[in-house]
Structure 1
Amino acid sequence: MKTIAIDMDGVLADVYAQFIEMHFAETGERLSQKDMIGLTEGEAFPHLLKHVNSKGFFETAPLITGARKVVEEIAKVYKVFIVSAATEFPLSLGEKHLWLSKHFPFITWQQMVFCGSKEIINTDIMIDDHFKNLDYFKGKTYLFTQPHNENANPKNHERVNSWEELKEILL
């Protein structure tokens, strides 16, 4: 059985929507994802560090459309691991575990990999929205489109724009 490493933030969890809502609640200013194309997350969200260090940020992030359904289907054919950098921000480790348990109850604790760097990951396939994770990976890579990578040329990575598109490719 082939193995897949799936990133959490920006691939399963819609952290852009979470940042936009938290920014609006704090400032009254409604940000648009269109205006963020080509910007790093730090450039797009001036209060990023404050928000990711806020209780509830990771635990209450909304799901990306189609993620749960397609991951559940993929898990019938592949050994799935959710791989998330969860040690940089103190609150994220516990909150990410709770979020995954809530939204993906079919993913066991043995399939949750929380780390600092993803360079050690050795699955057949990796799905991520950041080049820093895909560029060092030795297997097949899929770049999940997010505003910060939308203008970039994925070169050695296949770009995917949705979970439905991934379903067509992987199943």
Structure 2
Amino acid sequence: MENLTPEDKLEAAKFFYKAGDIDRSEFLLKSFLEHKEDHEAYFFLGLIENQRTNWQRGLYYFYRSVEINSEYGNPCNEIGILLLRMGRERESVYWLKKSLRCTLNDAPHISLFNLATLYKIWNRPERSLQYLHKAIVIKPDFEEAKRLREELNTGI
């Protein structure tokens, strides 16, 4: 692995993460970061820590990712989710909405779904349905969003 370029290490780290080998992924990400600061590398480290339920450490990596690239929406969404888990709902809304404003966001429908879930918790079904509609427009086969929409529609 010493012969790999830093970019090869990042790609290999993402491959191993997606394959479920988070230890190897973490090693490659940290090795990559010795050569170059990168928003995506910190994002994946945050995902790894999140999987390990090290939420504070995960938050650190997600915040670091956003510091490097403030237009990267994926870590903003993850920050929002973690803050929600920690009972910090108001802060969560800020980060989920920030995720939607970012120009680089692989899954805006997830941020919309998370906002819909938060508004459901706050007993604001009309607002929740607005976010679900937007999520389903982006991803028509988003079954979890369709189920939540149906649940909200039957409760109204």
Compute the TM-score of the two structures, normalised by the length of structure 2: 0.28
Q: Identify the structure with the greater helix proportion.
A: 2
Which is greater in Rg? 2
Q: Identify the structure with the greater strand proportion.
A: 1
